[in-house]
Structure 1
């Protein structure tokens, strides 16, 4: 008998509620995906303010859930299980989502699963492209995370091959956007400006690509600093800063490193499918270069549509469905949110 899973996401600045149907054959169908973002409230600060995010989640949680059920044409009583982001993320923001999930689960007398936000970004691909091959390589690229992950079982076995040693790629985008006086968050405006620029105009550095560097780790702090110094020198010389060229050259450096390391990892791990997920996966140049390099290497590339790449409740519902299908243990009602939850812990 098909089961309806409700997913709640509140790890950062998006309040997400998703509903999926887990079919008897293990496939997962998306029924609703509603998101309320507080990004406009953070824009004037140039980054997410935890206290502001927590308050926004508190105000948006119930209305977002109501929209999701209306979209799906379902009632609360139709829910068979609830999954909620238990971590990683902002402590206060996570607490709002976990508290809401516990309240819903108690009121409905249904099982509750505390799941990993990062694993959710991978699981969401199944809503668009179907079941994941085993194993699969995931390149997770967002504002807070840049990781290469080997996924042997989305419900239970994820191994980190490499991650960023400093700024995540999304953080670098935000900081470079600030230098170029572009809006926050920086990803979309830099992507837009880069389309009008020359990616070869400036030879920005490719971090962590030397022979002695960890082959699957990333570093974008040096690149961010290089962009800032280049702009500073141009302004000091009285030159007009070619924003489009700087954006294109910066973006090319990021996409080059991300895709090169992902292809290398896939080859060395003997994995034939690469999934790129997380907010930065919506970047046009990253997708384009990944498609080129995967085609050359004979690797299948899967990238969820942009709406599914950013934080949302659908990804948590999807992961919850896989956890339920695998027969994983139900979380105790007294579990706590874990802001530093490691990616190898898929569910509590």
Structure 2
């Protein structure tokens, strides 16, 4: 059939992403362009994403970001053979912008359209850097809104959730702890930076959902977030200076400890030899280093995409779209609706 060009559109939260990949006849996927416009600065003063602001930002950024992607790839829109777009999960208004744009491009170019799962895209993006995924593999998806352990038998068709967070996702906990410590939003990068100068053993913060009666592969970070806030409040009442670096390092150690311990345990119990860590928090330095240490000890291959691919982007949606196309999936109908609560097991709609 010859190599095919797949365009991917991502607009689930506060990044407008347009990616272009080439699907080769052997099933490998090559990244051609990854253009992203972020509205994070517009949300920073609110300490979190404001859905209406995000939707407006997507409207303003969609066409310029698309034009930039094609310019970066040296392609014309007429070169596109199929379009993939995030159908969910995500913010309803934000998703609608991307879905509407994808439908318009699909009709204008007369190419098939695939509505795909944002979470599966975070897994598929690893193939752009490390090649095809072993079948099966285990994925630890860690982002602002999601913390999940997933068994991936086929990224284009079969993903099963083994565990997820029962309250705050890891990324949410980072944002809330950063606010307590007076660090900027989003909280991941500043906490990671502060932690490098701190002592991870300075404060014994709790490890949620690790008791003998707790679900083996579920997560909870609400209690940890509250423990950090109470510790800081106590120090302030005593008139003590807050050791921001030590608090950040101790908090980060608690998060990385639980995430990596449960992921390695799941892989060992399932007899799976490859762990993929993806999502925005995968860019965290302590999470990746502790995962590497524990995976090496357990004889598990660890795959972590480079930081640019970990955060939300159009390349991950294009990559997933390419795998869905290669699997021979039926294109989506033009009347499909965005689904803010799309389950991870639904790869395409």
In the alignment, structure 2 segments of 5+ residues that lack a partner are none
Output aligned runs, 1:21-100, within 5 Å.
21-100=22-101
Match of 2:115 in 1: 114
In the alignment, structure 1 segments of 5+ residues that lack a partner are none
Match of 1:294 in 2: 295
Match of 2:157 in 1: 156
For residues 49 and 300 of structure 1, the distance between their equivalents in structure 2, rounded to whole angstroms, comes to 38
For residues 154 and 261 of structure 1, the distance between their equivalents in structure 2, rounded to whole angstroms, comes to 21
For residues 317 and 301 of structure 1, the distance between their equivalents in structure 2, rounded to whole angstroms, comes to 23
Q: Deviations over 1:195-240 (max 9, x none)?
A: 0000000000000000000000000000000000000000000000
Match of 2:310 in 1: 309
Match of 1:244 in 2: 245
For residues 236 and 154 of structure 1, the distance between their equivalents in structure 2, rounded to whole angstroms, comes to 51
For residues 117 and 269 of structure 1, the distance between their equivalents in structure 2, rounded to whole angstroms, comes to 25
Count of residue correspondences: 348
Q: Deviations over 1:179-208 (max 9, x none)?
A: 000000000000000000000000000000
Match of 2:281 in 1: 280
Match of 2:184 in 1: 183
Deviation at 1:166, TM superposition (A): 0.1
Deviation at 1:72, TM superposition (A): 0.2
For residues 235 and 74 of structure 1, the distance between their equivalents in structure 2, rounded to whole angstroms, comes to 57
Match of 1:168 in 2: 169
Secondary structure of the 1:333 match is coil
Deviation at 1:5, TM superposition (A): 0.0
Match of 1:197 in 2: 198
For residues 222 and 321 of structure 1, the distance between their equivalents in structure 2, rounded to whole angstroms, comes to 40
Q: Deviations over 1:149-193 (max 9, x none)?
A: 000001000000000000000000000000000000000000000
For residues 339 and 270 of structure 1, the distance between their equivalents in structure 2, rounded to whole angstroms, comes to 33
For residues 95 and 286 of structure 1, the distance between their equivalents in structure 2, rounded to whole angstroms, comes to 33
Q: Deviations over 1:41-60 (max 9, x none)?
A: 00000000000000000000
Query: Which ranges of 4 or more aligned residues in structure 1 deviate by more than 4 Å?
Result: none
2:336 is the alignment partner of 1:347: no
Deviation at 1:66, TM superposition (A): 0.1
For residues 164 and 25 of structure 1, the distance between their equivalents in structure 2, rounded to whole angstroms, comes to 37
For residues 9 and 137 of structure 1, the distance between their equivalents in structure 2, rounded to whole angstroms, comes to 24
Match of 2:126 in 1: 125
Match of 1:220 in 2: 221
Q: Deviations over 1:263-294 (max 9, x none)?
A: 00001111000000000000000000000000
Match of 1:231 in 2: 232
For residues 193 and 262 of structure 2, the distance between their equivalents in structure 1, rounded to whole angstroms, comes to 25
For residues 153 and 291 of structure 1, the distance between their equivalents in structure 2, rounded to whole angstroms, comes to 24
Match of 1:319 in 2: 320
For residues 158 and 94 of structure 1, the distance between their equivalents in structure 2, rounded to whole angstroms, comes to 22
Deviation at 1:139, TM superposition (A): 0.1
For residues 154 and 300 of structure 2, the distance between their equivalents in structure 1, rounded to whole angstroms, comes to 19
For residues 270 and 247 of structure 1, the distance between their equivalents in structure 2, rounded to whole angstroms, comes to 34
For residues 105 and 270 of structure 1, the distance between their equivalents in structure 2, rounded to whole angstroms, comes to 42
User: What RMSD, in angstroms, separates the aligned Cα atoms of the two structures?
Assistant: 0.2
